[in-house]
């Protein structure tokens, strides 16, 4: 019998479909993985913003986690926004129990507006209990600054920040360059085991349809890890996927604000 590469996604729901678990599932499917989910929160949002958030109880999160792992299992786990200290502790406990081979965390802590999405105790719990269990994390620049406790300086090489994060938390880091300027977007992968630095470059695309790129990148990365690719191979394939999805999505209009990327660009004739 055939088997699917299986990805367990732990994240919140985006009713607009552009980010969160909806984007995660689309990315996983486009990149060849089967998705199961643990929904941590329900949001009422669209292309213009988030209107309301309602958290799922830690007990229900535990029930979802157990139901999936005891039957389906997971070759990799992708973790998105965990909105409270209690939820973080619950997820950390189940990760420790099931010990999935690959854990990718997108440390969603800062909104596009620059506002923090987590309280201080939740941020500390994330750093103490979740990030150290991960194989790789995928922060953007504001999240990197929060995790390191310092602002980015033009005099310091971007790769040095990825290295500093990796050495602080003892996990590999795929540091996203979306907040930087320039004709190219050059993400940095620092493999904490080999100390190898890999630069992942693509042309920078001018478009407002970038909603959910962070969610989609981390899910693509986890999907490729679930299929047995090395960290470097999975990161490069995920970077290529996101670039092509952003490029294809720029031709579409959905809603009145920031639209999504085109996850299924390969299906276009």
Catalytic residues: 176, 210, 212-215
Alpha carbon distance 205, 262 (integer Å)? 14
Burial of 24 (0-12, 13-18, 19+ CB in 10 A): buried
Phi/psi at 154 (5° precision): -65, -25
* The pair of three-digit structure tokens given for residue 15, joined into one six-digit string: 């009713």
Alpha carbon distance 139, 49 (integer Å)? 21
**Backbone CA torsion sign across 110, 156, 136, 166:** negative
Sequence-separated (6 or more) residues with CB below 8 Å from residue 168 = 147, 148
Alpha carbon distance 18, 159 (integer Å)? 29
Q: Are 230 and 172 in contact (CB under 8 A)?
A: no
């Amino acid at each position: 019998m055939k088997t699917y590469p299986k990805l367990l996604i732990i994240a919140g729901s985006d009713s607009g479909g552009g980010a969160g678990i909806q984007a995660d599932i689309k990315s996983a499917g486009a990149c060849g993985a089967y998705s199961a989910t643990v929904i941590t929160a329900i949001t009422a949002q669209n292309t213009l913003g988030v209107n309301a958030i309602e958290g799922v109880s830690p007990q229900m999160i535990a029930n979802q986690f157990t139901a999936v792992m005891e039957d389906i299992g997971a070759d990799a786990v992708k973790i998105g926004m965990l909105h409270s200290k209690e939820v973080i502790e619950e997820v950390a406990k189940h990760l420790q129990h099931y010990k999935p081979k690959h854990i990718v965390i997108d440390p969603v802590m800062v909104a596009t507006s620059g506002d923090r999405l987590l309280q201080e105790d939740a941020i500390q719990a994330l750093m103490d209990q979740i990030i150290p269990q991960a194989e790789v994390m995928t922060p953007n620049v504001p999240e990197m600054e929060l995790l390191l406790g310092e602002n980015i300086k033009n005099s310091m090489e971007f790769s040095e920040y990825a290295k500093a994060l990796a050495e602080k938390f003892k996990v590999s880091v795929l540091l996203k360059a979306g907040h930087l300027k320039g004709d190219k977007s050059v993400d940095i992968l620092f493999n904490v085991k080999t100390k190898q630095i890999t630069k992942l470059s693509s042309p920078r695309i001018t478009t407002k349809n970038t909603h959910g790129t962070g969610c989609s990148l981390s899910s693509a990365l986890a999907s490729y890890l679930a299929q047995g690719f090395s960290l470097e191979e999975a990161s490069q394939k995920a970077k290529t996927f996101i670039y092509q999805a952003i490029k294809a999505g720029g031709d579409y209009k959905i809603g009145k604000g920031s639209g999504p990327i085109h996850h299924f660009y390969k299906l276009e004739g």
